[in-house]
Copies of this chain bind each other. A is one copy, B any other.
């Protein structure tokens, strides 16, 4: 396609999508739920077809010699497709937020003013690798009455097209407009460039993926962006911390699943905490590579390597941890604000005042006292399915559930009032 053709291709998608969004917004709860159950059933029915198409992506991945982790993220099998179907059913069972009127009040003028929860409209999601995002986002969008435009990565294009054909068939069988979900089946970058200009059609764009994807979308988009950026998460062990908690929480935050955004990347320890070596040894025993400040190295010279300036800002997503000894909670908080990504930070402490101050002063989307940063998750927070973890402050901050795909409009009930 030439540039001009891309612009027509994207305009066509956006026009259909916006039209579908109006119809979708007016469907009843059970109409939206019915199509979700239909999609789940169709996924199970057509698992073999999807797995067959997924094999094509895996073959390309093998030829390209991708890492084991990337191949694993790409892989679909019967068990995973079953999991995707169950997740769609879970979303169908969630309470419908749409149409609810919140905080109604009567004003001196006599008008009654409330706020009605409504769909946002058209949502574009740009994501990488994992094909399950296709069904998750489609389901969350349909549940919340939004039209979705999906743009997956080149590496999973066959899987995504297959999943989308299953979704589309289900939409056609129900009373839902078939353009309620649209997949961009062109993998060229130009398709994204054109898409990001369509702010008259698309209400929000959500990039889910690596730093370069998010930077590109932020720079190019005329549409408001909800970022899901990296997590450089910290745990601070205060001098009054329970040694057992300090060990358990540090090990869990680093070791339980190191490859995710809410895993700890830097450990800050108060110099007056007596069990510093015990915590470091516990991490070392789990196979964690430690990179420390000078004081950390002095504690365990044989087991701790030096941390460079770059280490403090790195998201390792691996069994590597940077460690710094600090003289005060203020120093810890300053370090977090200087090097962190405002994602998830924890304090381990027995001091009431420090716990409250840490909660208040640390400017992150989730701040934990005496618990692991690994809890920063839509499921663990009780939001149900999660669109992602937003790392910006506008609209949705931190774990973003179904409500993140809705907004509030004012509804005013009058009886002839005019303004003086």
Residues on A lying within 8 angstroms of B by beta carbon are: 22, 25-26, 99, 105, 107, 109, 111, 113, 116, 118, 120-121, 199, 203-204, 218-219, 222, 224-226, 242, 244-245, 248-249, 251-253, 256, 337, 359-361, 363-372, 374-376, 380-382, 392-395, 397-399, 407-419
CA distance A245 to B418 in the complex (A): 9
A397 CB contacts on chain B under 8 angstroms: 407-410
CA distance A416 to B346 in the complex (A): 11
CA distance A297 to B91 in the complex (A): 52
A393 CB contacts on chain B under 8 angstroms: 120-121, 203-204, 407
How many subunits of this chain does the assembly comprise?
A: 2
- Say whether B249 contacts A109, CB under 8 Å: no
- Say whether B372 contacts A417, CB under 8 Å: yes
- Say whether A395 contacts B395, CB under 8 Å: yes
Top 10 A-B pairs ranked by shortest CB distance? A371-B414, A252-B418, A366-B410, A374-B419, A395-B395, A370-B414, A371-B417, A368-B412, A394-B395, A245-B416
A222 to chain B, nearest CB (A): 6
The contact sample of 22 A-B pairs, CB cut-off 8 A, is: A22-B361, A22-B363, A109-B375, A113-B381, A120-B394, A199-B218, A203-B392, A204-B393, A242-B416, A248-B416, A249-B416, A256-B419, A365-B409, A365-B410, A367-B411, A368-B412, A369-B414, A370-B414, A372-B417, A375-B417, A376-B410, A394-B407
- Say whether A382 contacts B105, CB under 8 Å: yes
- Given A111-B380, A203-B393, A224-B225: 9 more A-B contacts, CB < 8 Å: A204-B393, A224-B394, A248-B416, A366-B409, A366-B411, A370-B415, A372-B418, A375-B417, A397-B407
A204 to chain B, nearest CB (A): 6
CA distance A397 to B203 in the complex (A): 12
